[in-house]
Amino acid sequence: MPLKNRITQVASDTARYHLSIAAWFLVVIGIIYIVLRSIFTTSDFIPNGFMDFIYRPAKIFSLIYAISASNSFLTFFVRHGVTRRDYFFGTSIALVFVSFTMMIITAGIASIENFIFPAGETASYFESTGSVLATIGEYSLNIICYYITGWLIAILFYGFNTIGKSLAIMGASLIITMSGMLWGESGFEQNITRLFNLHSPWGLPMAISFLGTLLLIALVLWIIRASSKNITVKMK
């Protein structure tokens, strides 16, 4: 099979399976949101609506799912003659596709919610097309960070000794912290703001947050690729 076709097949199979799991996640979180919204009628309950409600659970879901599933996919594809390289590129493409698809679907649901139950805070996402796209981009990139962090943990636990496993935990903590810093989601953003004398709502200008997150994703993917080159794949 030609190289591009192998990568495309890996991406297609992986994305299809991931999306089937993600669909169940969206349904479950959606039901929880509806129940809680029916109980709590004040604006104190999730003032930014469904999109804000699902964002943090989606990150945790992505991290845990990647940890639990990554090595099973590696074994499956290698057993069927797929190289580590093809597996890596195909899986990377699939994770990007799944992350953006989840957030686009979520934005669609949130727009319907905003139309039916208009609220000032919720409507802030939909003041302009640029605002919606920026929110989808921010949330999707952060979910990708959590996906690949779980993938990194899985790879290092799969093919390395105790030191490698310890490095996986420390590396994962650092990646998540840096991701939070870039978007003002951790306690470090105030220090970053003072250091660079910045005054944006995110602690950093959005362009820098996007660029920094892309560089962080590229770095983690490079580490995953380098780590997975020589590991022994367990065929059972």
C-alpha distances in angstroms, 3 versus 10, 89, 119, 121, 150?
11, 11, 50, 48, 27
Predicted confidence at residue 51, as pLDDT, reads 83
C-alpha distances in angstroms, 13 versus 66, 80, 97, 152, 214?
15, 13, 12, 20, 25
Q: What is the mean pLDDT of the chain?
A: 79
Predicted confidence at residue 2, as pLDDT, reads 53
Predicted confidence at residue 145, as pLDDT, reads 93
Predicted confidence at residue 94, as pLDDT, reads 93
Note the pLDDT tens digit of each residue in 178-230. 888 888 765 444 444 444 444 444 456 778 888 999 999 999 999 999 888 77
3-class SS of residue 119: coil
Predicted confidence at residue 129, as pLDDT, reads 55
Predicted confidence at residue 130, as pLDDT, reads 58
Q: Is a pLDDT exceeding 50 seen at residue 157? A: yes
Q: Is a pLDDT exceeding 80 seen at residue 85? A: yes
